[in-house]
Structure 1
């Protein structure tokens, strides 16, 4: 039977999943609100769909798998606002539905470890929206839902190198601050493994094995580029956007044991050092 993926809010992580699935015979359609992205989707061999119910519905009715990357806004989950009844009507027929959430739903653990059983106590409005969205998706009867709580995403074209090169990187020091992160290729491998071994109702944390202070990541990236690390800046003195500052309101180390035990996944990049080195090697190989 032909496998068909409908990617709702087709973006960075979904593109890496598509790159894994397309050589294996999958059909993939992705949604966007921007018609200018159609050429980019075609280059990926992904059928572009405008964010419009009439455009999406034929693919939803024929999809075997659905990936939801579109995040909630102040008015709620955009996918459910557009398609909730249609998705509910297809729920029993679908093989797998994946919802990309965030480890921000756990809130602040003051640097301690959290796993999927930790209480959801988000410290930001962004995290609270995610908790509400997770609950709304989970409330759809018979939906084969899998929730993936992603740590900070990095990968080709998305990482610290450009800021280190142009001199805008900051090494911000907030004592005790630690973040988890995940390379986009490992996100794609976990999603593919879950599609192959669905366990509806399961929540998975997606992060690497090495939570680290953000200033250490910047310093390591600078070293790889042969540059001096940016000077240390105390958090209270740092010039940060409200969004960036909000990330520092939460400090935690996120466990990823479940993706290993349940899905048999071995991370390609178990720490930021191996991930950043691979990104740089790839960049240099393309020059």
Structure 2
């Protein structure tokens, strides 16, 4: 199967689809706000589109993936909701959400059937956006897959990059667990969902081994041959309000559904294998 993917907000996660779809003859139309990023997209074989500012070419698309974060409302639906609701020709819509919608579970396990318990305004906006996309796609009769992403890392992004940039803090908050997902595993899960015949579904995208963040940073430093940063108690850490807000939630996220439904075999089932792969790719 080939088609045309309209990738709205074509950023780091969505770019993982490029090496999977483009060689098979797919067209990817990627939106960005930035002219330099548009030029870089074109160099990789993606058709760039400056948006907002240009109408979305929904009539050309067979598949839609949106990575645009909501504010109070979802910006894509605010601008194009009626068009999407009438786009009955679409074969698939994917919405990239976040595991932040589950809220704090004090390190306990959650899965896709766990009732959202969003506390922050940012997470509540995600819950509302998920509901809005479900309503719109139901009106259009288009299957929708919602992907709740854990912390994203990969080449150029994550603990190794922070260490090299001198931004890494080994913050310790007792009982804190984070889940994470490598960029390449995001790509393969999205690819399998696009090519599946599975109806409306919600999927967690995370690896098999949630871990305290200080353990991940220490592993990254050892693998990269860099000094392990000293531990800093959470109360004393110099964190932005955004970074500090992530520590309000502690949970371990299950990924059984992507394996069972989509047949995903994670390329990087734990953070050490993912970090090693980043370093190996750099030579």
TM-score of the two chains, using structure 2 as the length reference: 0.96
* Mapping 1:107-146, distance limit 5 Å: 107-140=103-136, 141=139, 142-146=141-145
* Mapping 1:49-68, distance limit 5 Å: 49-52=49-52, 54-57=54-57, 60-68=58-66
Separation (CA, whole Å) in 2 of partners of 1:269 and 1:130: 27
Task: Specify the alignment match of 2:273 in structure 1.
Answer: 274
How many pairs align?
Answer: 280
In the TM superposition, what is the alpha-carbon distance from 1:235 to its structure 2 partner?
A: 0.5
Separation (CA, whole Å) in 1 of partners of 2:107 and 2:20: 34
Could you give the per-residue CA deviations for residues 187-237 of structure 1, whole angstroms, max 9, x where no partner exists?
000000001113232000000000000000010011012222111111011
In the TM superposition, what is the alpha-carbon distance from 1:52 to its structure 2 partner?
A: 4.1
Task: Specify the alignment match of 2:214 in structure 1.
Answer: 215
Separation (CA, whole Å) in 1 of partners of 2:187 and 2:53: 27
Task: Specify the alignment match of 2:81 in structure 1.
Answer: 84
Identify the range of structure 1 (238-247 vs 137-146) with the bigger mean alpha-carbon deviation.
137-146
* Mapping 1:16-31, distance limit 5 Å: 16-31=16-31
Identify the range of structure 1 (249-258 vs 223-232) with the bigger mean alpha-carbon deviation.
223-232
For the 8 Å contact 2:182–2:268, the answer to whether it is kept is yes
Separation (CA, whole Å) in 2 of partners of 1:151 and 1:254: 8
For the 8 Å contact 1:53–1:82, the answer to whether it is kept is no
For the 8 Å contact 2:65–2:95, the answer to whether it is kept is yes
Task: Specify the alignment match of 1:95 in structure 2.
Answer: 91
For the 8 Å contact 1:189–1:265, the answer to whether it is kept is yes
Task: Specify the alignment match of 2:167 in structure 1.
Answer: 168
In the TM superposition, what is the alpha-carbon distance from 1:36 to its structure 2 partner?
A: 2.5
In the TM superposition, what is the alpha-carbon distance from 1:160 to its structure 2 partner?
A: 1.1
In the TM superposition, what is the alpha-carbon distance from 1:64 to its structure 2 partner?
A: 1.0
Gaps of 5+ in 2: none
Gaps of 5+ in 1: none
Separation (CA, whole Å) in 2 of partners of 1:54 and 1:279: 36
Separation (CA, whole Å) in 2 of partners of 1:10 and 1:69: 7
Separation (CA, whole Å) in 1 of partners of 2:25 and 2:174: 49
1:3 has 2:26 as partner: no
Separation (CA, whole Å) in 1 of partners of 2:177 and 2:110: 13
Separation (CA, whole Å) in 2 of partners of 1:34 and 1:82: 19
CA RMSD of aligned residues (A): 1.3
TM-score of the two chains, using structure 1 as the length reference: 0.94
What secondary structure, in the 3-state scheme, does the structure 1 residue paired with 2:124 have?
helix
Separation (CA, whole Å) in 2 of partners of 1:240 and 1:215: 14
For the 8 Å contact 2:2–2:24, the answer to whether it is kept is no
Separation (CA, whole Å) in 1 of partners of 2:239 and 2:186: 28
Task: Specify the alignment match of 2:202 in structure 1.
Answer: 203
Separation (CA, whole Å) in 2 of partners of 1:121 and 1:282: 39
